[in-house]
Amino acid sequence: MDVAAAIRGRRSVRAFKSQDVEQDKIEKILEAGRLAPSANNRQQWKFIVVKDHETRQKLARAAMNQSFLAQAPVVLAACATESQKVMMCGHPTYAIDVSIACAYMLLQAYELDLGTCWIGAFNEEEVKSILCVPKDVRVVALSPLGYPTSWPDARPRKGLDEVACYEAYR
C-alpha cells in the first residue's frame, strides 16, 4: 500500500472484533512512531501498549465511557516526556511532536488492516493514574487498536478550495 492509499483509506474505527493483534504488527506500528520527525529530533515521547482487560476498561471509563476503547484488544497511549519547550513560533512542541508520531502509527496500523481511533476526550489525570505516568509527563492521545468489525464510510471533508490558497491567505 502506498502512502496516498493509506491516507485515503484510513477511518476512525469504533467497533472491534475480539481477535488479538499480532505482536509483530504492534511492533511495526510502534516503529512508525519511533521514526516520526520531531522538533530538533528530540523524540521526547513514550508509547504505552495496554493489553490488560481491566486496565482497558478503566481507560474507557476515563475517556468519557467511550466503551469501544476497551472493546479493542489493545489500547495505545501516546505520551510526551517533556512538555515545557516552546518553538520560536510560539507553539509548544510536545503536542505537535506526539501528534505526528500518532498520525504515523494510525496510518501504519491501517496498512496492517488494523483499525484505530484518535481519542482526545479523556481525563488526563485519571489516565495518568491508571497507567502510572509520572507527574511531568503528558498524555496526548489514546487509541484503540484492533481488527474492525467493518470499515466505516468516509467522513466528509471540506473542498481543497476552502482549505488551501496560493501566495497569501485568502
Ligand X SMILES: Cc1cc2nc3c(=O)[nH]c(=O)nc-3n(C[C@H](O)[C@H](O)[C@H](O)COP(=O)(O)O)c2cc1C
Q: Strand, helix or coil at 80? A: strand
Kindly tell me which of 8 and 40 has the beta carbon lying closer to ligand X: 8
Q: Output the smallest distance, CB 65 to ligand X, in A.
A: 11
Starting from the edge strand earliest in sequence, which strands make up the sheet with 138-146, in order? 45-50, 74-80, 138-146, 115-116
Kindly tell me which of 14 and 128 has the beta carbon lying closer to ligand X: 14
Q: Output the smallest distance, CB 141 to ligand X, in A.
A: 7
Kindly tell me which of 135 and 155 has the beta carbon lying closer to ligand X: 155
Q: Output the smallest distance, CB 100 to ligand X, in A.
A: 12
CA dist list (Å): 149 to 54, 72, 79, 110: 22, 10, 28, 14
Kindly tell me which of 134 and 159 has the beta carbon lying closer to ligand X: 159
Q: Output the smallest distance, CB 44 to ligand X, in A.
A: 19
Could you tell me if 118 and 12 are in contact, meaning their C-beta atoms sit under 8 angstroms apart?
A: yes
Query: In whole angstroms, what is the distance from residue 37 CA to residue 42 CA?
Result: 9
Binding positions for ligand X, rule: CB under 6 A: 11-12, 14, 66, 117-121, 155
